[in-house]
Amino acid sequence: MPSSGRAGLPVRPSEMTGREDSRYQLAPRAKLPLPRLAEMKRNGERIVMVTAYDAPGARFAEDAGVDVVLVGDTAAMVVLGHEGTTVPVTMEEMLFLTRTVARTATRPLVVGDMPFGSYHVSDEDAVRNAIRFIKEAEADVVKLEGAGPSLSRVSAIVSAGIGVMGHVGLTPQSETILGGFKTQGRTASKARQLLSDALALEAAGCFAVVLEAVPVPVAARITEALTVPTIGIGAGAACDGQVLVYHDLLGLTEGRAPRFVKRYANLAEEIRRALTTYA
Ligand code: KIV
């Protein structure tokens, strides 16, 4: 008899617990083991990542078979109403949102995105805040932006036993310094710098690196050079996985979206129509 997990979806053989034959106990889906991401890269299997900020988003992502759910600091813009910046979101807000996702997503790895200011002062501060994501919000791992000064933060957090996802290219927390939300690594020397930043993040212990708004050939070169997976957003198809912001891909954000965003639905219109009908 085929086993089923939450929502009646099939449980993959690797996720079976041996209790699937009970009619009364639906087996919880097993958490995707972190080393599986590197294995997916080696096997050429695509990694699917999406952001989520609440329990319904986490449930939809899980049921769709998403591998990694990022509770992104884009929450500042798409959930909390800050215009065009991720900087204002606080640790407390990120912990609150991450908790709602982590309590719902069973199989996908839940990544807590460290907000601006939570890892910028010292390694010790970074470790303390990363621990809060794991202990208080039950994230599986954390993500932080940049290389350079972030490298010692990555090593310190990894030494504390917490997985870290890196993020280079367009790093929105430093948008002012970068001169806006624009493609990074367009000159040969900037492309070389991006490659060496990504390699340094891998050496510091990152289990994966997000490449945001990076020219396609540069992302392809970085992906080839790294043994850990790259997750692209506006970085082309050669990356080992892709990530999109939930609200962008579902058409919940209105106004101009980045050029690379592919909209799979137009939920803003649907919601407006439904609410107008109701009202
Ligand atoms: O915060 C976020 O949503 C992100 C993704 C765009 C990668 O960092």
Residue with tokens 């392809």, as numbered in its chain: 220
CA distance 258 to 249: 11
Local confidence band at 182 (pLDDT 50, 70, 90 cut-offs): confident
Nearest CA to ligand 1 atom 8: 72
Q: Where are the domains of the chain?
A: 1-30, 33-244
**Minimum-distance ligand 1 atom for the alpha carbon of 113:** 1
Q: Taking Cα atoms as reference points, which of 116, 104, 110, 45 lies closest to residue 77?
A: 116
CA distance 184 to 179: 10
Task: Tell which one of 47, 51, 145 to mutate to probe ligand 1, the residue whose CB is within 8 A of the most ligand atoms.
Answer: 51
Tell me whether residue 212 is one of the annotated catalytic residues. Answer: yes
Model pLDDT, residue 26: 57
Kindly state the helix (H) or strand (E) to which residue 193 belongs, with its residue range. Answer: helix 188-204
100 lines ligand 1 (CB under 6 A): no
Each residue of 204-213: pLDDT tens digit? Answer: 999 999 999 9
| Structural fold of domain 33-244 | TIM Barrel (3.20.20)
Model pLDDT, residue 114: 98
Model pLDDT, residue 217: 97
Please state, in angstroms and as integers, the Cα–Cα distance from residue 239 to each residue in 37, 55, 88, following that order: 13, 28, 30
* pLDDT over 90, % of the chain: 82
73 lines ligand 1 (CB under 6 A): yes
